[in-house]
Chain A
C-alpha cells in the first residue's frame, strides 16, 4: 500500500513561510550571541561562552567529514592544532614586523594553516573511506602530535608557543585584552564560519558529499570521482578546524601539543556524535553540551570522563541520531498533531529514570571515593561513601529505578508507535 499523499509533498514550490523561518532561526542565533554576555556578564560565563563558541566551529568542521561525507576521522585535532600554531606564529610575526594586521584577521591565517596541511596530506588519506581512512587519520594524528614535541623550533616543545593578542594593532579601538572583546571576536568568527559551512552544504559539491556518504559506488556512475569529493571535503574541514584552533590560540594566547592530540580529536568526535551528525545544527547542540559538561563536571567529580563514556555509549546504543535526531523524530508527530498523545508517557517516565540516574551516580561515586572517604553531595544530600546506608540507597535506586523505568519506557514505546502510525497514515514521514 502506498502511503497517502499529502498536499505538502505534491506542491513543487516550498511555501514562502519556510524562507522566513529559515532566516528567523539564524537571526535568533546571532541575536542570542550578541545578548548572552550582557545577560550573563560574569568572567566565568564569558570564558564558558568563548570555549563553547570555539567548540561549535570545531564540531561543525568535523561534521563536514562525518555527517556530510561519511568520513570517520580520529585525527581532526591535527588541523585544529596546526591552525592554532599558525595563528600564534602569525601573531608574533605581526608584532615583530609591525605589519598592519589586526587580531580579527588572524583566524584566517589559522584556517590557512589547517587547510595547507589538509591539501598536502589529504590526497593520500582520502583515497579510501571507511576503516582505511579512520586508521590513517589515527596514525597521522599520532605522528603530528609526537612531532610537535620533537620539532621545537616550530612547536616550542612542551611549553608550546606563547603570544600576546593585545600587542597587535588595535581595530576600532578594541585591544582585545578584556575577555568580552575576545568573546565577540569568537562570536563573529562563529557566525561567519557557520554561515559558510551551511552554505557549503547547499552547493553542488555539498550535495555530492552527501551522495558519497550514502553510496560512493553509485557516485562513480553519475560522473563523479568520490576520491576528489572526499579530498575537497577534507580540505574544507581542515580549513574550518584551523579557524577553530586559531580562535583557541587567541583565547588562551598559547598553542601547545595538547591542541593536536588524540584527546582533542576524541572530544570533537564525541561532541559531534552526541549532537547528531544527520542535521546541520546537531554538532552545535553537541558542542554546547559537551563543553558545558566538561566545564561543569570537572568541578564536581574526579571521574568526569567516566560519565562522558556512559553518555556516549548510551547515545550510540539508543539514539544513534544524537540529540538532533531525537528532536527531529518528533517533527512528523508535531505536524500530524499527535505529539500530545506521547507527552504523558514522557512525564510518567521522568521520576523512575531520574531515580535510576541517581543510582548510577551514587554507585560510581561510592566506588570512586571509597578509599578517600570524601562525602558525596547529590542534590544537596550528603552521602558517606563508606556507610552501608549509602550502598543500600544506591542499590535500591539502581535496581528499583531500572525495573520501574523499564516499564515506563515500554509505555513510551507503545505510545510512540501509535502516534507515529497515525502520523504516517496522515502522510507525514519526516
Chain B
C-alpha cells in the first residue's frame, strides 16, 4: 500500500543554514502520526515543506504516491491535503459561517463561479452547517472570526482545515495556549473529525501526543532521529537523551 505522505531525503537551506537535513518520513493511510521535538527543531518547517508553503531545496515529497514537492499550496490542497496553522490564521473580518463556507466552496466544485448565488447552494449550506455543528460553533455563526475567543478561533482553525473533506489532515499545534479543559475538548474534537483520515500533528503537550498518536516521529535539528509507536519512542535511548529527558522516567 502506498503511504499517504512519503518524504524522502528532503533538505531545506536558507542561504548557508540547513534548517532541514535528510528528512525521511512515512505516514501510512489512516494513521495518526505525531511529530515531536524541541523548539526550533524544524517541526513547522516540515509542515510548510509538505504543504507547499515553502519549497524543498532538494529531495521529494509524495502524497498518495504522487510527487507534490514543487507544487503550489492550492494545488496540493486540491489533491486532498489540508493543514492548519500554529498561529491562528482565519479570515478575521468574515463571520464564522463565511469562514467555513469559503473552505467548502472549492471542494464542492464551485471554484471561481461568478454566476451562482452562494446562498442558494444546498450542498454548500448543508456541509457548512454540519462542520459548524461538529466544531460546536453554530451559536457563533454570525460573529466575525476576529471577535471569537482564542479557544474558539483554534476550533474554527480546525473547522476550516477539515472543511474541504481532505483525506490527509495536518494540524500544527492545535492545542497551543489552551487550558486543560479546552485541550481535552479539542483532542476529542480532533479524534472525532479525523476518524478514517490520515492525521499528522505537531504537538508539545505529551499527554495529547501519547493519547492520540498511532506513531510518533522525533525531530531534532531538522533530522528525524526516531520513528515508531508511542511505546517504542518511550523506550528509545536516543529520544530520551535528545528530547524527553527526565520526562521519560
- Chain B residues whose C-beta falls within 8 Å of the C-beta of A278 in the assembled complex: 93
Taking a contact as CB atoms under 8 Å apart, the answer to whether B74 and A12 are in contact is: no
Taking a contact as CB atoms under 8 Å apart, the answer to whether B105 and A203 are in contact is: no
- Decide yes or no: A204 and B77 within 8 Å by CB, A211-B102, A223-B106, A429-B143 being known contacts: no
B71-107 residues at the A interface, CB under 8 angstroms: 72-74, 77-78, 82-83, 85, 89-94, 98, 101-103, 105-107
- Secondary structure class of chain A's binding surface, majority of residues: helix
Taking a contact as CB atoms under 8 Å apart, the answer to whether B73 and A220 are in contact is: yes
- Chain A residues whose C-beta falls within 8 Å of the C-beta of B112 in the assembled complex: 204-205, 208, 224, 228-229, 232
Taking a contact as CB atoms under 8 Å apart, the answer to whether B92 and A215 are in contact is: yes
Number of A-B contacts (CB under 8 A): 116
Closest to B157 in A: A218
Verify if A217 is at the interface (C-beta below 8 Å from B).
yes
A128-163 residues at the B interface, CB under 8 angstroms: none
> Once the chains are docked, how many angstroms separate the CA of A217 from the CA of B51?
12
- Chain A residues whose C-beta falls within 8 Å of the C-beta of B185 in the assembled complex: none
Q: How far is the CB of B61 from chain A (nearest CB, A)?
A: 16
- Chain A residues whose C-beta falls within 8 Å of the C-beta of B17 in the assembled complex: none
- Decide yes or no: A225 and B72 within 8 Å by CB, A9-B140, A214-B91 being known contacts: yes
Q: Mark A1-32, 1 if CB is under 8 A from B, else 0.
A: 01001001110100000000000000000000
- Chain B residues whose C-beta falls within 8 Å of the C-beta of A199 in the assembled complex: 117
- Determine the interface band of chain B, counting residues with CB < 8 A from chain A: 35 or more
Verify if A34 is at the interface (C-beta below 8 Å from B).
no
- Chain B residues whose C-beta falls within 8 Å of the C-beta of A208 in the assembled complex: 102, 105, 112
Q: How far is the CB of B225 from chain A (nearest CB, A)?
A: 29
Verify if B62 is at the interface (C-beta below 8 Å from A).
no
Taking a contact as CB atoms under 8 Å apart, the answer to whether B106 and A205 are in contact is: no
> Once the chains are docked, how many angstroms separate the CA of A2 from the CA of B143?
12
Closest to A9 in B: B142
Closest to B79 in A: A223
Verify if B180 is at the interface (C-beta below 8 Å from A).
no
- Chain B residues whose C-beta falls within 8 Å of the C-beta of A430 in the assembled complex: 144
- Chain B residues whose C-beta falls within 8 Å of the C-beta of A222 in the assembled complex: 74, 77, 82, 102-103, 105-106, 160, 163-164
Q: B: which residues have CB within 8 A of A? A: 51-52, 72-74, 77-78, 82-83, 85, 89-94, 98, 101-103, 105-107, 110-119, 121, 129, 138-144, 147, 149, 160-161, 163-164
